[in-house]
Amino acid sequence: MPHTPILSVNNLSVVFPDNNGGLRALDDISFEVHPREFICFLGPSGSGKTTLLRILASLLPPTSGQVNFIRNEHPEIGMVFQQANLMPWRSVMENIKLPLELQGMDAASERVKAQELVDLVGLNGFEESWPRELSGGMAQRVAIARALIHDPDLLLLDEPFGSLDAITRERMWTELSRIWQVRQKTVIMVTHSINESLFLADRVLVLTQRPGKIKLDVEVDLPRPRKDDIRYTPHFGKLARKLREAIE
Partner 1 sequence: MKNILNRIPWLGLMSILAGLLAWWLVARYSGLPRFILPSPLDVRTSLIKALGNGTLLYHTCITLMEIVLGMLAGVAFATVVGYMLAKSRTLEKILSPYLVASQAIPIVAIAPLLVIWLGGGILSKVLICALIVFFPVLVNTVVGVRAVPAALYDLMNSVRATKLQILLKLEIPASMPILLGGLRIGVTLSVIGAVVGELVNAKQGLGYLLQLGDFQYDTSMVYVAVFALILLALGLYGIVAWVERKVLVWQEKK
> Which positions touch partner 1 (CB under 8 A)?
54, 57-59, 74, 76-79, 81, 83, 85, 87-91, 98-99, 101-102, 130-132, 150, 156
Residue with smaller CB distance to partner 1, 88 or 125: 88
**C-beta of 231: minimal distance to partner 1 in Å?**
31
For the bound state, the minimum distance from the C-beta of residue 98 to partner 1, rounded and expressed in Å, comes to 7
76: left (phi over 0), alpha (psi -120 to 50) or beta: beta
The nearer residue to partner 1, 79 or 121, going by C-beta atoms, is: 79
90 or 178: whose CB is closer to partner 1? 90
Q: Could you tell me the smallest distance in angstroms from the CB atom of residue 199 to partner 1? A: 25
Q: How would you label 11-39 residue by residue, b for 16+ Cβ within 10 Å and e otherwise?
A: ebbbbeeeeeeeeebbbebebebbbebbb
Closest separation in Å from C-beta 82 to partner 1: 9
Q: Least distance (Å) from partner 1 to the CB of residue 38? A: 19
CB of 54: closest distance to partner 1 in angstroms? 8
The helix (H) or strand (E) run that includes residue 239 is helix 234-246
CA distance linking residue 225 with residue 248, whole number of Å: 31
- Measure the CA–CA gap between 7 and 16, rounded to whole angstroms: 24
Burial environment of residue 231 by CB neighbours within 10 A (0 to 12, 13 to 18, 19 or more): middle
Judged by beta carbon, residue 59 or residue 107, the one nearer partner 1 is: 59
Comparison of 155 and 179: residue with beta carbon closer to partner 1: 155
> What are the φ/ψ torsions at residue 51 (nearest 5 degrees)?
-55, -45
Q: Which residues pair with 78 in a beta bridge?
A: 155
Instruction: Closer to partner 1 by CB, 87 or 107: give it.
Output: 87
β-bridge pairing 23-33 and 7-16: antiparallel
